[in-house]
Amino acid sequence: MNLFQSIATICSVLCCALALPLFGQSDTKGQKAPELKYALRVDFKENVYASYVMDDKTTVNRMYRDSIGKQYQRKVQYHFTQSPESPKSEGLPLITNIDSMKYAFMDGPTQLLYDSQNPKAATVNTEFPDAISNMALLNHQFVLVYSPQTEVVKVRGVDQPGDIDWLRDYIIKEGKDALDTAQRFTWLHALKDEQAAWIGDVSKELISGKMVISPDSVWKKSIRLRLDGIDFIDTVEVRVTAYSKGEYVLEAVSKALTPLTLDDARFFGVPAPVPIQSGSGQGVITMEMNSSGWVKKVTLKYNAKVTSQYKREQFTQDISTETTWTLLGRYKWN
């Protein structure tokens, strides 16, 4: 990718959060009582771009029926850029590119490392399934298409060689002979819409279109998360918890996190994909933004437990994840 293409993928996710004094009914003296309102919306501005860094730390404790345990930890950092596509495009499309990444996997005394900016120093085999699950989208552009309710309804390519659609087709066609069933599953699972949205959807679908709310308002919103490669859903309760000098804080509380059980999952150390039998979890998402409308930081802290089985061996997996998305810069491109 040349410099122009790299610059052209710098992104912006705008969240307008303004405290607007709206007036209520007149009193008996004809005076209008002021009523404070917050106006919230996600807005993608043409020719405005921003750069984000995502830091993810996940710790997993697995327990088998014979009380044998296994623990591993993963740290992943993505630098990614986004830019709104042409306003003539269908929906609200946001072009996203993961420009660089760092990856560290710890299993006991074993530490596997990868840095896309220094690949010669890597200690991990790029065929390692967990590495594939986290590296597959690196430098393969994709578009997040949003609905008017600010929900990601589709993920597609940018109609260029090397984009996400090109890579998906390549794995399906060329991978038929070059990859075994488990490898093929790992690649396609890492290229699903859910993985792209997990990384690139900074607003996390917490704001539903254009909202005008009272300061004490609480609203419910359906969300999707991918924790340790497993897809979860929940309905969170969202509120504005703080406002000071142009800075807003939103908090979303998750009490009934549920894994999707229709698709299999790939677990570290398990030779083949296996179904999720059951699971639960809870967590909190905090979003910081300023009054000019920029999402400055998103912090996600979740704990989840899932049960699965490989052949006759059942196991449970406790997952603890802390993830942050931080705005590094915003730019206007003419």
Residue 87 has pLDDT above 80, yes or no: no
**pLDDT single digits (tens) 230-286:** 999 999 999 999 988 878 899 999 999 999 999 899 999 999 999 999 999 999 999
Domain count, the chain: 1
118 located within any domain: yes
> Cβ distance 275 to 320 under 8 Å?
no
Residue 23 has pLDDT above 70, yes or no: no
pTM beyond cutoff 0.85:
yes
334 located within any domain: no
269 located within any domain: yes
**Domain at 113, CATH number:** 2.30.230
212 located within any domain: yes
- Percent of the chain surpassing pLDDT 70: 88
Confidence at 26, pLDDT banded by 50, 70, 90 = very low
**What is the extent of the structural domain holding 317?**
3-328
Q: Does 45 or 191 have the greater pLDDT score? A: 191
182 located within any domain: yes
**pLDDT single digits (tens) 44-57:** 777 888 899 999 99
Write down the pLDDT at residue 13: 39
Residue 190 has pLDDT above 50, yes or no: yes
241 located within any domain: yes
